[in-house]
Amino acid sequence: MIELLPVLLFLLFLIFVRIDIAFAIGAASYLWLFIAGESMTTGVTRVFSGLNSFVLLAIPFFLLAGELMNNSGITNRIVKFANYTIGRFRGGLAQANVLASLFFAGITGAAVADVAALGSVFIPAMDEEGYDTDFSSAITAASSIVGPIIPPSIIIVIYGSVTSTSIGALFSAAIIPGLLLGGALMVITGILSVQRDFPSHTPDVERSEVPRLLFDSLIALTMPAIILGGILGGVFTPTEAAAVACIYALLIGGVFYRSLGSSDIYDSLSITLERSAQLYAIIAFAMILSWMLARTGITRDLAAALVQMGLSPEMFMLFVGVILLFVGTWLEIGAAAIILAPPLATIAETLGIPAYQFGIMFIVTLNFGLITPPLGICLFAASSVSDRPVWEISKEIVPFYVADIAVLLSIIYLPSLTLTLPRLTGF
């Protein structure tokens, strides 16, 4: 433990001085190898073994599928459908904002993409109808965290790969919490709509357009259905499902809608390449860190100490939740999952916590950091789109954050929320 302390302090220092997280982890890991007298070639071996996983191929495929669908103009179709179905009620545009995020989650699985795509549409529209800009920005940021929870989800793929947990089971376990989170946000929005007398919205859609609008939305939502149905039905693996999603996105954008040009495909490939390289670099160097924690025995000793303390599974998850709420505000969620998930999942297993329940609790809690000041990235994205100060948006996000915490407590104390669907689907 003594030799581990300077390494962890060095890692925190590198993170806070804004060194890229992958290289910060790598530098700290090699420092430990040097202090512990281990061979430097051990680091190379661990980096290679960390990336030598078939399931990790799902990451670039899911990223590419989301980019292709987004560049196909599917965002505007989803917004129109959400406005038509729920926009006519009091606070309709705010409710449609949340509903659109639920639909968008099944396509991109990325929170920041949600804020950028939907925020640029909803925030100006809500401003025109008399909503406060800070509230419009807050509901856009709050609903965006549903994206990385409802499948397909990159963070679930990462968590599953580093903890050796079934990704298909995690996908199915995330559905109910994701929908519950969206529902809780809609309830809060409904209450605020009555209190603040928000207006209803008259959708700019002719009755003759409705069948086409419904068909376009079903086409978009077929992609997550194919992914989940294929994985849960045993037709293909998560990696194969991601590849099928790319083919589907190309067919929809390039052949059906004819809105996906060669430049759009090039841009999608460029963004996918960049983001995949960043994630793979983090995963590779984090494998040294994970091995280091296992080698020092700190995970085993901590698990034994918690068992001796008689800490209940619920108390342990609450303790982990507090840690993740803090970590999620300043550390990218992919990096946080890669670093923290393996040791914490091991301890959870020792305490008898179901793997899928703990995994979804971990992922949901970590995503809350995206909307938590001072460094929540979705808050900054919403601020950028709306040109409003982060702290002003943060004040409006408080009621939604309370709803998020209520959902988190439900996941902790009601295991059936995360275990029912995996059991029904054979996991």
pLDDT of residue 176 exceeding 90: yes
Q: Which of 97-111, 147-161, 188-202, 407-421 is predicted most confidently?
A: 407-421
Whether the model clears a pTM of 0.85, i.e. scores above it, the answer is: no
Sign of the torsion formed by the C-alpha atoms of 105, 228, 175 and 334: negative
Where b means 16+ CB within 10 Å and e means fewer, 59-93 reads bbbbbbbbbbbbbbebbebbbbbbbbbbbebbbbb
Give mean pLDDT, residues 294-323: 76
Q: How confident is the model at residue 306 (pLDDT cuts 50, 70, 90)?
A: low
Report the number of secondary-structure helices (H) and strands (E) in the chain. 20, 0
Q: What does the pLDDT look like over 351-405, one tens digit per residue?
A: 889 999 999 999 999 888 888 876 677 888 888 888 888 888 888 999 999 999 9
- Note the pLDDT of residue 203: 62
Q: What does the pLDDT look like over 319-364, one tens digit per residue?
A: 888 888 888 777 778 778 887 888 888 888 888 899 999 999 999 9
Give mean pLDDT, residues 23-45: 78
Q: Are 359 and 160 in contact (CB under 8 A)?
A: yes
Read off the DSSP letter of residue 336.
Answer: H
3-state secondary structure 125-176: HHHHCCCCHHHHHHHHHHHHCCCCCCCCCHHHHHHHHHHCCCHHHHHHHHHH
Give mean pLDDT, residues 299-307: 66
Q: What is the distance in angstroms between the CA of the first residue and the CA of the last residue of the chain?
A: 38
pLDDT of residue 178 exceeding 70: yes
- Record the tokens describing residue 362, joined without a space: 């971990």
Q: How confident is the model at residue 10 (pLDDT cuts 50, 70, 90)?
A: confident
pLDDT of residue 413 exceeding 90: yes
Averaged pLDDT of the chain: 81
pLDDT of residue 407 exceeding 90: yes
pLDDT of residue 408 exceeding 90: yes
Window from 69-83, 304-318, 358-372 with minimum mean pLDDT? 69-83
pLDDT of residue 305 exceeding 90: no
Read off the DSSP letter of residue 239.
Answer: H
pLDDT of residue 409 exceeding 90: yes
Q: What does the pLDDT look like over 190-245, one tens digit per residue?
A: 899 888 888 776 666 666 666 777 777 777 777 777 777 787 777 888 888 888 88
pLDDT of residue 104 exceeding 60: yes
Q: How confident is the model at residue 415 (pLDDT cuts 50, 70, 90)?
A: very high
- Note the pLDDT of residue 201: 64
Cα 92–chain centre separation: 26
Q: Cis link prior to 199 (omega < 30° from 0)?
A: no
- Note the pLDDT of residue 402: 92
